[in-house]
Structure 1
Amino acid sequence: NSALLFEGIAHTLAQPANNGEFYLTDAFQYMIDHGAKLKVEDVAGWYDAGKLDTLLDTNRVMLEKGRARRPADVQGATIIEPVYIEDGCTLTGSTIGPNVSISAGSTVTGTTVRDAVIGAKSRLIDCVLHDSLIGDAVLLERVHGSTTVGDNSEVRGEQ
């Protein structure tokens, strides 16, 4: 019953956050408490997107299981599958992949990146990144290694 699920979600969001997070299982419990019967299924894996390593692992699994895509006209970059590149990205003189997702409007120039998720409208210039999570509207310049950068941030390495 989707109406009861949305009611359960609204109820969950009205409660104080548990360690800064809300859990869908609380909405499921609300449904059960209000008479719903839920079916249980075994799953092959469980991924906690609240942790960097499992978020990147989830990205990898999603790409391997068919979520990979790239625009038809990726020029100026070497692509190592699997990747997910939204339309509207500009890739110049870069190597992208494997296991990289890039959101719309991002620009990647002179950069090598693997095992990473890059948010929308971010700019990566002369970086070498792996195992990284980059938020929306981020400017990274001359950054090397593994990093996590939140939305609307700028990080510049040494020249």
Structure 2
Amino acid sequence: MKALVLAGGTGSRLRPFTHTGAKQLLPVANKPVLFYALESLAAAGIREVGVVVGTYGREIRELAGEGGAFGLRITYLRQSRPRGLAHAVSIARDFLGDDDFLLYLGDNYLPQGVTDFVRLSAAEPAAARLLLTPVADPSAFGVAEVDPDGNVLRLEEKPENPRSTLALIGVYAFGPAVHEAVRAITPSARGELEITHAVQWMIDQGLRVRAETTTLPWRDTGSAEDMLEVNRHVLDGLEGRIEGKVDARSTLVGRVRVAEGAVVRGSRVVGPVVIGAGAVVSNSSIGPYTSIGEDCRVEDSAVEYSVLLRGAQIEGASRIESSLIGRGAFVGPAPRLPQAHRLVIGDHSKVYLTP
């Protein structure tokens, strides 16, 4: 089985970060989100992966390379602009051939991986197999109606009156019949070739479409809030390790990872926390669930439940929490304006102002 990972898209919910880089490269515990997907594919036994890229394809290629670091062989496929998941399948036709493949949205985080899903897809072939999860608000997702035997009867995209609470979470297994389905559909009202329409076409043709349901944690890292929550989840599994320098005036509590080349001086760090290579934390308090990227500087500040991207600087901040700080950004105290008094004083008055 091959895999097709989607790493294009505009990432509009993560602007302004996605004005200058791919959302799939934003870090979770100081590692790009995309890398978690690639690692899970390798762990499932997949070796050939096509990565569909857009504007920031060069940056993705520079970081992920040809896939050797993951035990994969990566082929990069250019999508000129986002035109839907089914369109991504169509431009990957030559790469995929007639092989079964896994379609995986590259900004998704599934801590349980996809090994069981891949094994089941190989053991019990179907035209399509969808990974679903129950959600509180299905109207915000693609929704599947499933019969008691696990066959998918109908798909709806963000329905006003959902027929079920089972949402598509961006992991699909397909056989070669999907290519005919993609050719048969037309663009939706938003001008995209929808994968849900292709799957519905297969259902209408009488092809077997199966559903697998998981209640394990899953996150789409498409917003700052989601990024912080995924960062929290990953840090929960962090193992503490001190490779950098921590001076005698500092206190580290719990699971803290200080990378080689990082420096902690006169600070209190309460884990789980990861501090990247080249970062300096000085006279500061770092609270749980914080990831400090490479070459960051935190001085005379308090930071908790936040993610600092590479090269960010925080100085003199009394407290920062639930924040996502971009690459090379600076946060510091505003200058104090001179205190002023507004007076309306009558003739011959005396006024004494305190300094």
Same fold? TM cut 0.5: yes
Deviation at 1:100, TM superposition (A): 1.7
Residues 85-131 of structure 1, C-alpha deviations (whole Å, 9 max, x = no match): 21111101111122322111100001111221111101100001122
Give the CA RMSD over aligned residues.
Answer: 3.2
1:69-88 alignment to 2 at 5 Å? 69-71=240-242, 74-75=246-247, 76-88=249-261
Partner AA of 2:320 in structure 1: G
Percent identity over paired residues: 19
Q: Distance in 2 between matches of 1:109 and 1:17?
A: 43
Q: Distance in 1 between matches of 2:250 and 2:221?
A: 29
Aligned to 1:57: 229
Residue in structure 2 matching 1:36, options 100, 113, 127:
100
Over 3 Å counting, the alpha-carbon distance change for 1:108 and 1:58 in structure 2 is: same
Q: Distance in 2 between matches of 1:79 and 1:34?
A: 54
Residues 22-44 of structure 1, C-alpha deviations (whole Å, 9 max, x = no match): 98xx67xx587843155267462
Q: Distance in 2 between matches of 1:156 and 1:138?
A: 11
Deviation at 1:56, TM superposition (A): 3.0
Residue in structure 2 matching 1:111, options 284, 292, 300:
284
Q: Distance in 2 between matches of 1:6 and 1:89?
A: 35
Q: Is the 8 A contact 1:62 1:68 kept in 2?
A: no
Q: Is the 8 A contact 2:240 2:254 kept in 1?
A: no
Residue in structure 2 matching 1:136, options 292, 296, 310:
310
Aligned to 1:6: 50
Over 3 Å counting, the alpha-carbon distance change for 1:36 and 1:43 in structure 2 is: farther
Q: Distance in 2 between matches of 1:87 and 1:47?
A: 30
Aligned to 1:157: 333
Structure showing greater Rg: 2
Over 3 Å counting, the alpha-carbon distance change for 1:100 and 1:49 in structure 2 is: farther
Q: Is the 8 A contact 1:107 1:124 kept in 2?
A: yes
Q: Distance in 2 between matches of 1:77 and 1:7?
A: 44
Residue in structure 1 matching 2:266, options 93, 97, 112:
93
User: How many pairs align?
Assistant: 150
Q: Distance in 1 between matches of 2:221 and 2:250?
A: 29
Q: Distance in 2 between matches of 1:110 and 1:138?
A: 17
Partner AA of 1:35 in structure 2: D
Q: Distance in 1 between matches of 2:271 and 2:310?
A: 21
Residues 56-105 of structure 1, C-alpha deviations (whole Å, 9 max, x = no match): 3333332333x323216633321122233211111011111223221111
1:121 to 2:186 alignment: no
Partner AA of 2:239 in structure 1: A
Aligned to 2:112: none
Q: Distance in 1 between matches of 2:241 and 2:282?
A: 17
